[in-house]
Structure 1
């Protein structure tokens, strides 16, 4: 693999590095979670675009040079960059523009994280244990739903505890008595009596399936996510290889 693009020391931020060399130009991305999730995108050693999009699950960069396409940085629940994908201006089988494709995650070529970095370790772990990685995605997605609900429940419990704290008596406000309004009696509508529906009892296998569904469904979803992620990584390997071969052919 060719050497990473050279960037001036004063322009190089500190953080996690990602690279895609010879596709047909060299792309280098630095993600820095300590600086409001700052992302810096270099193309052939020159800064193409930067952004600060703290708190967002996906940051999309679109440089002024439309010939560079777009870049998407996807983050985990805790804000760490987990995937950086470059979307070229045009791509076989893609009808969307690069920015729309970046937001939707259609196509693109994943950049490779620096060796030894946390992202590289996660990538290697995902390739060795795809099922475990899929289960981790399911837990992370469930946490995004469960944690806010748990937070609301805790707030309600705190409000309930406040109700048992003795507060000082406040003076009552003498509100004036408002006159009552005599509403006219509306006529009753003679609705017809509907026949009783037959009683239906679910089969025993339905009851058994309902009992084990909360335990089996997360496993099935995890396997599906793991299989889809495994296929996506294999497709990304083919796309990087095809981009490298096209560059060598042009050279």
Structure 2
């Protein structure tokens, strides 16, 4: 290796080292697809969707949730016939995965609506939404680092504040649902929650702050202005998940335009 020196202001300095990186192929399948990866904070766990038979438990090629953990083999998290299990979001230490499914994973979704589920290592599944009433199931969950809060988009009236079906929700596990947008004839999409669950970024064509009268797709940041106790306990099913009051713009939970 040749080391070059650069004369800068009469002082010889060595150039900065070039950034080094590697690629590691996690999956190696001859059929099916692998997609929608979500990585843990330390980078040692990855949740993803696969229709491949990575563990000899998915011979039918259904879309299932898998977990890769550094130093060990794949784990197949869901195993269903038909339907789908998609949109995985993994928490900080890789012990919880939020995802969307239209299967009856807990006995609380016999009608096979699209609902949000949580998988917890060592204890299995919990259904945290439902029943879906208007046909527009929730989607795109985003879980915070300790796995106690999930943001998701939904058009159902989970809190009594979304009769027109245009809303974004934050679900505080063990406490209940908080509606974080309240808008009419517009939509809010793709929430992404921060580590401690106090901020949610999303994009919207609503005029949430008075600065988007033309209805463009803009990025907003919701910031919680209240501190509430959080419990890592998960509801056994949707019937034990109490609903709280809707938090609309103008309250301590108002969004901010970016």
Same-fold call, TM cutoff 0.5: no
TM-score (norm 2): 0.30
TM-score (norm 1): 0.31
Bigger helix fraction: 1
Give the number of the structure whose alpha-carbon radius of gyration is greater: 1
RCO (CA 8 Å, sep 6+): is it higher in 1 or 2?
Answer: 1
